[in-house]
Amino acid sequence: MTEKIDFVILWVDGTDPEWQRQRRSYAREDMDNGDDENRFRDWGLMKYWFRGVERFAPWVNRVFLVTNGQVPKWLDLTNPKLRLVKHQDYIPEKFLPTFNSNVIELWIHKIPDLGERFVLFNDDMFLTAPVRPEEFFRDGLPCESALLDMATAPGPEDCLPHMQINNFALINRHFNKKEVLKKNGRKFFTPKYRGDLLRNLLLFPFQYFSCFRDSHLPTSYLKSTFQQVWEEEGPLLEECGNHRFRSKWDLTHWLMKSWQICEGKFHSRSTAWGRHYELWEDDLEEISRSLERQKYHVICLNDSKMDIDFEGTQRKLQKSFDRILPEPSGFEIR
C-alpha cells in the first residue's frame, strides 16, 4: 500500500494593504536583507501551482495552504483535498503576527491533521511535469540529494550564510561527520549527483560539516523528524519565534532536512530532478523554454532582486504557464 503524502504550501499576498500596514507597524530600520519587500511580491502564479498539483500529482492526499488568514479570491475552499491553515492554528499566539518564513516553517509539524509524510513547498516552487510518489518518498523515507557544501556569502549583508552556520552548529553538536559518511557513504557518493559528486569528494576530508547545498526545491519531510529535533533543541527553536522578521540569528527548516540526511533517513535522488532559477540572473527566455518544454519535474522561480522588469517578467511567465496548464483546476471557483 502506498503511503499517503501531503503537500504544504506557504503563501502571502504582499499587495494586501492591511498586511502592508501591519508589516510596517512592526518593521525596524535595521532588518536583515532576508526581508526585502520583493520577497513578498505576489506574481499571480498560484493558480498554476494548484493546476500543477492536480494535473501532475493527482495522487496527493491533502494540500495544506498556510497563510496569515489571507485567501486567494479564486480559491475554492470546498475542494475536499484542500485545508486552509492560518498561522494562529499552529504557531503560539505570543509569536504572532510573524513575517518570518523561518518561524512559519519551524512549527509546521504542529499543523492539525498533517500526515507523517509531507512535502514542503514555497510559493515560488511549481510542478511542471508529471511526478510519482516515489520521487518524494521511497520505502517510507524522503528522497533527497545529499550534497556537501561550504557556507559562503556574496556580501556582508547576506543573512542566509548565518542561518546555515546556525543550523550546522547544531548538526555538528549531534552528529560526527566521519561516522555519518562511513555509515551512509553510498548515499553521499553516488553517480546520481553527476558533477556535484566531485564537491562531495573534495569536502570529504574536513572534520566538520559546513553545510549541505540547498537546491531550493520542494523538501520531503517526516513529521517525526521535526518532533525529534524539537525535543533535542526546543529552546533554541522557540527563540526564533521572537524574530518577527528573518534574522541572522534564525534557524531554518533546513535543519530538519540536514538532520534526516545525517541520520541516513533518505534515499538519494538525482540532481537533474528539478531546477532553481534566479529571476534577476538567469535568462528569461531559457526559463520560459524549460517551462513550456517541461524540461524539469519541478522548478523554483526565486525572486530576490527589486531591479527587474516585474510586469514584463510576470507576463512572460504567465504566458509560459498557460501553455502547459491552460485549464482551471478543481481548486478554482468556477
pLDDT tens digits, 266-276:
999 998 899 99
Domain containing residue 201: 6-324
Low-confidence winner among 23-37, 46-60, 316-330 (lowest mean pLDDT): 23-37
Q: Are 148 and 213 in contact (CB under 8 A)?
A: yes
> pTM of the full predicted structure?
0.94
Return the pLDDT at 36.
53
In-domain check, residue 64: yes
- The answer to whether the CB of 71 falls within 8 A of the CB of 13 is no
The verdict on residue 134 lying in a domain is: yes
Q: Report whether 2 contacts 135 (CB < 8 A).
A: no
Task: Output the average pLDDT for the chain.
Answer: 92
The answer to whether position 333 is within a domain reads no
pLDDT at 152 over 90: no
Residues 149, 210: contact at Cβ < 8 Å?
A: yes
Residue type, 105: E
Q: What is the pLDDT of residue 2?
A: 66
When pLDDT is cut at 50, 70 and 90, the band that residue 1 belongs to is very low
pLDDT at 154: 76
**pLDDT above 80 for 305:** no
Taking 90 as the threshold, does the pLDDT of residue 116 lie above it? yes
Beta bridge partners of 7: 63, 119
Q: Is residue 149 part of a domain?
A: yes
Give domain status of residue 274, yes or no. yes
Q: Is residue 306, in this structure, part of any structural domain at all?
A: yes
pLDDT for the residue 282: 77
- % of the chain at pLDDT higher than 90: 81
1 located within any domain: no
CATH, residue 125: 3.90.550
Q: Tell me how many domains the chain contains.
A: 1
pLDDT, residue 42, reads 74
269-295 residue pLDDT tens:
998 899 999 887 678 899 999 999 999
* CB-based contact 60:50 (threshold 8 Å): no
Higher pLDDT: 314 or 251? It is 251
Tell me, yes or no, whether 332 lies in a domain: no
Q: At which residue does the C-alpha cell 514584463 appear?
A: 312
Q: Of the ranges 20-24, 104-108, 191-195, which is most confident?
A: 104-108
